[in-house]
Amino acid sequence: MAEATNKRDNETRDAQERPKMWRRPDVLPQIKREPGKSYRWIRFESMGMADSANMSSKRSEGWEPVKASAHPEIFSAPNDKDEIRNGGLLLCQNDEEITRQRNAYFSDRTDANTESVDNNYLREGDARMPMFKEKSTKVSFGSGGGGQGSA
């Protein structure tokens, strides 16, 4: 009576376990988001060379580096500026309202450009150079002049 375990119970438990699946890891670490702030990884370096033009452009849009001391949950290689870096990228933050306004601006520009291209391409063109050529095939029977074996 010492052995009260049922081998069948152990077998069914293994069968019920879900198969393990590979998942792609997140390349960039996730940050605990603060309300009213938006975050973005910005290139500050490319192939070992500083990208000061890109950083200057982003700073003029309001993006500021996130302090590593404010977010200890993210591992970042120690640096003298207390910034969160990953490769040639720098984690920056901006006011969420400014980010919304920027996205709306570029969305409007994209829509206007798309409409302009559509109008330009689809307008009524010159009859001598139609933008769309109707394709049709014609099948004819009769004398084609190309018979076999004429000597």
pLDDT for residue 3: 58
Enumerate residue ranges in the chain where pLDDT < 70: 1-16, 25-26, 121-135, 144-151
Q: What is the model's pTM?
A: 0.58
pLDDT for residue 99: 92
pLDDT for residue 14: 58
Which residues does 41 contact at the CB level (< 8 Å), separation at least 6?
28, 86, 89, 90, 91, 92
C-alpha 74/C-alpha 82 separation (Å) is 12
130-150: pLDDT as tens digits:
666 566 777 778 776 655 555
- Domain ranges across the chain: 37-121
- Tell me the pairing of strands 45-46 and 64-65: unpaired
CB 42 within 8 A of CB 55: yes
